Amino acid sequence: MTDELISQTPADPQERIGVYVCHCGTNIAGVVDVVDVAQWAVGRLKHRGVVIARDYKFMCSSLGQELIEKDIKELGLTRVVVAACSPHLHEQTFRTACQRAGLNPYLCELVSIREQVSWVHTDRVAATGKAKAVVSGGVERVLHHQPLEPLHVPIHPATLVVGGGIAGIQAALEIADAGYPVYLVEREPSIGGHMAQFDKTFPTLDCAACILTPRMVSVGTHPNVTPLTWSEVTKVDGYVGNFTVTIKKKARYVKTELCTGCGICQEKCPKKVIDDIYEAGLGYRKAVYTPFPQAVPKYPVIDRPNCTYFQKGTCRACEKFCPTGAIDFTQKDETITVPVGNIILATGYDIFDARRVSQYGYGRLANVFTSLEFERLSNAAGPTNGNIFLRDGKTMPKTVGVIHCVGSRDRNFNNYCSVICCMQSLKFAHLVKERTGATVYNFYIDMRTAFKAYDEFYQRVLEEGTLFVRGKVAEVTDAVRLPGEEDKLIIQVEDTLVGKQRRIPVDMVILSVGLEPRRDAKAVAQLFGISCSADGWYIEKHPKLDPVATMTEGIFIAGCNQGPKDIPSSVVQGAAAAARVLGRIQQKEIALEPFRASVDEDKCSGCRICNNLCPFNAITFHEDRMVTEINPALCQGCGTCVAACPAGAISGTGFSNEQVLAQIEGLLMLNLETASEAVPV
């Protein structure tokens, strides 16, 4: 049987292949003997059609590309293999170069000898040997490439933005201002996100509401924006340019066309509910509510599980007092589908659950607060009208300890730095000082105040007299050991600058908790078909050069769902994602990789094995002719059906059986003329 499996396809004498080996400065040449690889390719793979092999310092530079173009024209190359970096970086570059020289761009193969060889191996001899094998695999594979034309698909001009925080608002506004329609979906009753909960924003101490609410109003009233609050995306079909998104609009039980947002219903509702979301559990809302006075839209929602009428069948106070008759208990959840060309996910973050660090006593010791709770405490519109009180609601603290890095930079919880905590802790120190005159301690591991005007703010807080203790807090306890600790919370910490253990009694502890991915981040990633890291942060297409695109065409990310970041960075990402989408919309169509499966009807036996394999419903069976057909518009090119077909009737362009099998032969160097050489390694 092995005879058949390793049968060599003879090289077509018509084929003329050029092999180009990149030094990438010293990135490749430092480990791989690139000159040797090029010489080897032209010497030992001559009988496979290699007519020229060159090495060059930077193949991707314009001079490097011109080298290839010149060879294509002058030597009449029919195929090109470039051994350089990952195809995810420069495949397009070299395809375009080929195209400029009149060669079909799909007759070019880029093999990675940087990410897969020079960067991961240290032994020069072994790395050079592997680079030769990789080049040999590329040469065999490229011999089976077909000239292809990219698929052009039109881009629907509408965009879906998921998440109405500052990143989503910014993205929606940019696109709407450019004149294109936007659907802005938010699962809470109002847009605004976490920023709407904050009091002041560092380092300038602008009032968060003052700078956010005008944006909320602009986006809420923009003629090109359809705000869909109290709504969730339930299904995403289609592909870039042509998504069909199913959105569930949860029943508000309020007729928005009649509601004036007067707020009488909220006043009259007898049912008080602890507000876990907007007030972070510190305050109450009613069963019919808008999360905050400046909510956009202004219409309230009825919280069905907490509404007395829905639970007990009587009450209807809101209905009785509503001056416009807007309350409608008969409303049902509604499902709508909208066509969009692109999607921007700005789904934000959750805060780290401070209960997990049990030694800090959150949830057990009353006067331990989280940063989000403190935001509400210090907010003039919050439960204490901006007075910084202890949990009893009346006592002002005389000493306050702010603990940094709670749940961040900690191998027990999250290894990453949550970026914003140092600055928010400094902001808290300033606000406590300003409002109560209390003594404030900051317990930090390292002070991270990068970015514009941040370090100046740190200096300012230092000068205001905040005390800084460098060390990770071991414990917060109410167990009195020393005089003066009665009725206090004692912070046990190693002061690493002094080299001593300290016990510092305080009235209030604020835990500067880190940011975490949304609890349902993975489910949302799956819904939209994008990848997320093991933590749950969404993965960008390239961490430096393509930070808002994802590996799924047409889906972009912005804000904290990609990783912890501050407000300015979130706004930048929102705008950047919008710019990417606008570019797409204005091109009117997009070129897609023409990698699709197709059925050779003459070979198809009608066994229907492939019929259940396609999750995109691209495969249909024709009962009359007893053959299967694949719809190229629905096919996503995964190739699962190709691998399954026992008759070999399905083939996939770009990743055909011939291409993969040839690449295997090449990688194992079965293509070399001398038999002894064919033995791999």
Partner 1 sequence: MNEQEQFEPVIIGFTCNWCSYRAADLAGTARVKYPPNIRLIRLMCSGRLDPTFVLKALAGGADGVLITGCHPGECHYIEQNYKALRRYLLLQRTLKQFGIEPERVKLVWASAAEGVKLAEAITAMVEEIRALGPLNWRNDEGRTTKDGHPSSFVHRPSSEQAEVAA
Residues of this chain that interact with partner 1 (CB under 8 A) are 1-3, 5-6, 86-88, 112, 114-117, 119-123, 125-130, 132-134, 137, 525-526, 529, 531-534, 539, 551-552, 595, 613, 615-616, 636-640, 642-644, 652, 654-655, 657, 660-661, 663-665, 667-670, 675-681
Of 336 and 679, nearer to partner 1 (C-beta) is: 679
Give dist(CA 178, CA 445) in Å, integer.
Answer: 45
Give min distance, CB of 531 to partner 1, in A.
Answer: 5
Give dist(CA 136, CA 131) in Å, integer.
Answer: 8
Location of structure tokens 């059925």:
599
Instruction: Provide the CA 500 distance to its chain's centre, in angstroms.
Output: 43
Of 190 and 342, nearer to partner 1 (C-beta) is: 342
Omega cis (within 30) before 181 = no
Give min distance, CB of 127 to partner 1, in A.
Answer: 6
Give min distance, CB of 542 to partner 1, in A.
Answer: 10
Q: Which residues pair with 494 in a beta bridge?
A: 501
Q: How far is CA 17 from CA 60, 129, 179, 313, 662, in A?
A: 19, 21, 48, 80, 15
Token readout for 294 is: 């400046």
Of 124 and 249, nearer to partner 1 (C-beta) is: 124
Give dist(CA 405, CA 427) in Å, integer.
Answer: 15
Of 4 and 257, nearer to partner 1 (C-beta) is: 4
Give min distance, CB of 592 to partner 1, in A.
Answer: 13
Measured in degrees and rounded to the nearest 5, phi and psi for residue 239 equal -150, 180
Of 621 and 655, nearer to partner 1 (C-beta) is: 655
Amino acid at 161: V
Give min distance, CB of 676 to partner 1, in A.
Answer: 6
How many residues make up the chain in this entry?
Answer: 681
Give min distance, CB of 644 to partner 1, in A.
Answer: 7
Of 340 and 525, nearer to partner 1 (C-beta) is: 525
Q: How far is CA 10 from CA 40, 164, 177, 671, in A?
A: 20, 60, 59, 9
Of 51 and 664, nearer to partner 1 (C-beta) is: 664
Give min distance, CB of 669 to partner 1, in A.
Answer: 6
Measured in degrees and rounded to the nearest 5, phi and psi for residue 34 equal -65, -35
Give min distance, CB of 551 to partner 1, in A.
Answer: 6
Give min distance, CB of 675 to partner 1, in A.
Answer: 5
Give min distance, CB of 547 to partner 1, in A.
Answer: 15
Q: How far is CA 220 from CA 161, 176, 299, 342, in A?
A: 13, 11, 12, 20
Of 126 and 277, nearer to partner 1 (C-beta) is: 126
Of 42 and 664, nearer to partner 1 (C-beta) is: 664
Cβ neighbors of 681 (< 8 A, separation 6 or more) are 129
Of 134 and 225, nearer to partner 1 (C-beta) is: 134
Of 3 and 257, nearer to partner 1 (C-beta) is: 3
DSSP letter string, 244-279: EEEEEE---SB-TTT-----HHHHH---EEEESSTT
Which of 309, 298, 302 has its CA nearest to residue 285?
Answer: 302
Give min distance, CB of 492 to partner 1, in A.
Answer: 35
Give min distance, CB of 214 to partner 1, in A.
Answer: 38
Give dist(CA 341, CA 554) in Å, integer.
Answer: 7
Which of 211, 208, 190, 191 has its CA nearest to residue 199?
Answer: 208
Q: How far apart are the first and last CA of the chain?
A: 24
Amino acid at 279: E
Of 130 and 248, nearer to partner 1 (C-beta) is: 130
Q: Please tell me whether residue 582 adopts helix, strand or coil conformation.
A: helix
> What's the angle, vertex CA 367, arms to CA 364 and CA 372, rounded to 5?
95
Which of 73, 27, 341, 299 has its CA nearest to residue 182?
Answer: 341
Q: Which residues pair with 590 in a beta bridge?
A: 153
